[in-house]
């Protein structure tokens, strides 16, 4: 599988395995380890997490699996996120859903993630959501401390606008290596709102969450979902793709910004569809046909 260069000393697999639904997969640590190993065999070496996933439980489940084979840590890249505070029985001190990008919270969240995942470092730590109360200098200070201590190799953001990303970058003396954004054939706005333009300009590689629109691509009965599904079926027949999700992934992978889709399934056949998409050739006309059906009109 193609590797994406995020920094001089950091590469991700083009397809990322996302564990935000890990608690729903009902896998034992042994079964999760087996799934991780099968992902690695398929070329997927990057795994995406966040402290809040699974009601603050997913990182721990991942860590239990990794503890069964610690040597696997040298073969993979781990991404995790912090900055959102959920109301949860696992965080009884939280009285309201809020954001926290203070130095203290970022450092304590990162250290807690390391403990839960049974690792000495994470490859990339992301700020999960833009915080209207963010002090970029204080957030950057937390980054500097974690990097100096070797606990986090690189940093990035998630769901940030170009201006929000520029604000944080102005205070951090290292690169913000990615912006993890919502992007799919049913959510095409980042192609037009400046998000991808900014990332291409700065040579920052985007990660795409919900690349299949959270299942809406298959189950949605709204006009847009039905229209786009028909377009994907047409292109699938033209390219001999085995499934419409293969086409949906290929549509993202074809873009010159080097998008890295996050596959959030625990089923290997669904993961393999994303892997196969890397070898699915789409023409420029097919790409624009899918975009047209997503927009509901021709490009201007």
Residue 253 CA to its chain's centroid (Å): 14
Q: What is the pLDDT of residue 239?
A: 96
| 175 — pLDDT class (breaks 50, 70, 90) | very high
95-147 pLDDT, tens digit per residue, is: 999 999 999 999 999 999 999 999 999 999 999 999 999 999 999 999 999 99
Written as one string, the DSSP assignment of 121-186 is: -EEEEEE-S--TT--HHHHHHHHHHHHHTTSEEEEEEES--HHHHHHHHTT-SS-EEEEEEE-BTT
Q: What is the pLDDT of residue 63?
A: 98
First to last CA, the chain: 35
Q: Which two tokens stand for residue 90?
A: 């696992």
Q: What is the pLDDT of residue 200?
A: 98
Catalytic residues: 53
6-42 pLDDT, tens digit per residue, is: 999 999 999 999 999 999 999 999 999 999 999 999 9
Q: What is the pLDDT of residue 263?
A: 98
Q: Which two tokens stand for residue 171?
A: 């205070």
Average confidence (pLDDT) over 49-53: 98
Instruction: Using a cut of 0.95, tell me whether the model's pTM lies above it.
Output: yes
Count other Cβ atoms within 10 Å, centred on residue 54. 20
Q: What whole-number distance in Å separates Cα of residue 124 and Cα of residue 126?
A: 6
Q: What whole-number distance in Å separates Cα of residue 32 and Cα of residue 26?
A: 9
The torsion region of residue 109 among left (phi > 0), alpha (psi -120 to 50) and beta comes to alpha
| 289 — pLDDT class (breaks 50, 70, 90) | very high
| 250 — pLDDT class (breaks 50, 70, 90) | very high
Contact 224, 191 (CB under 8 A): no
Q: What whole-number distance in Å separates Cα of residue 110 and Cα of residue 275?
A: 30
Q: Which two tokens stand for residue 11?
A: 């590469």
- Long-range contacts of residues 8-11, Cβ cutoff 8 Å, at least 24 apart: 9/153, 10/77, 10/123, 10/124, 10/153, 10/154, 10/177, 11/77
- Long-range contacts of residues 99-103, Cβ cutoff 8 Å, at least 24 apart: 99/129, 99/130, 99/131, 99/132, 99/133, 99/134, 100/131, 101/127, 101/131, 101/133, 101/134, 101/135, 101/138, 101/139, 102/135, 102/138, 102/139, 102/142, 103/138, 103/139, 103/141, 103/142, 103/145
Q: What whole-number distance in Å separates Cα of residue 194 and Cα of residue 189?
A: 9
CA quadruple 63, 57, 59, 137: dihedral, nearest 10: -140
Average confidence (pLDDT) over 214-235: 95
Average confidence (pLDDT) over 169-184: 98
Q: What is the pLDDT of residue 34?
A: 98
User: Cα–Cα–Cα angle for 289, 292, 295, nearest 5°?
Assistant: 155
Q: What is the pLDDT of residue 172?
A: 98
Count other Cβ atoms within 10 Å, centred on residue 26. 8
Average confidence (pLDDT) over 177-185: 98
Contact 251, 290 (CB under 8 A): yes
- Position of tokens 């299942």? 215
DSSP, collapsed to helix, strand or coil, labels residue 47 as strand
Quote the mean pLDDT of the chain: 97
């Amino acid at each position: 599988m193609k590797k994406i260069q995020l920094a001089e000393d950091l590469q991700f697999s083009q397809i990322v395995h996302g564990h935000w639904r890990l608690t729903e997969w009902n896998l034992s640590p042994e079964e999760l380890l087996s799934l991780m190993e099968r992902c690695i065999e398929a070329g997927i070496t990057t795994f995406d997490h966040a402290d809040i996933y699974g009601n603050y439980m997913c990182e721990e489940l991942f860590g239990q699996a990794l503890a069964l084979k610690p040597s696997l840590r040298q073969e993979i890249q781990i991404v995790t996120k912090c900055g959102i505070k959920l109301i949860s029985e696992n965080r009884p001190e939280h009285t309201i859903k809020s954001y926290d990008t203070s130095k203290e919270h970022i450092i304590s969240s990162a250290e807690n993630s390391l403990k839960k995942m049974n690792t000495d470092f994470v490859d990339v730590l992301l700020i999960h959501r833009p915080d209207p109360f963010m002090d970029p200098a204080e957030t950057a200070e937390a980054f500097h401390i974690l990097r100096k201590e070797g606990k986090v190799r690189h940093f990035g953001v998630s769901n940030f606008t170009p201006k929000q990303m520029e604000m944080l970058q102005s205070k951090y003396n290292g690169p913000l290596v990615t912006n993890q954004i919502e992007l799919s054939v049913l959510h095409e706005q980042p192609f037009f709102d400046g998000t991808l333009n900014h990332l291409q300009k700065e040579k920052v590689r985007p990660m795409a969450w919900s690349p299949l629109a959270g299942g809406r691509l298959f189950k949605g009965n709204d006009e847009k979902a039905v229209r786009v599904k028909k377009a994907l079926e047409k292109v699938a027949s033209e390219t001999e793709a085995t499934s419409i999700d293969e086409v949906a992934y290929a549509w993202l992978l074809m873009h010159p910004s080097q998008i890295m889709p996050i596959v959030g399934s625990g089923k290997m056949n669904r993961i393999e569809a994303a892997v196969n998409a890397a070898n699915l050739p789409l023409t420029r006309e097919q790409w624009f046909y899918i975009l047209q059906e997503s927009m509901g009109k021709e490009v201007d």
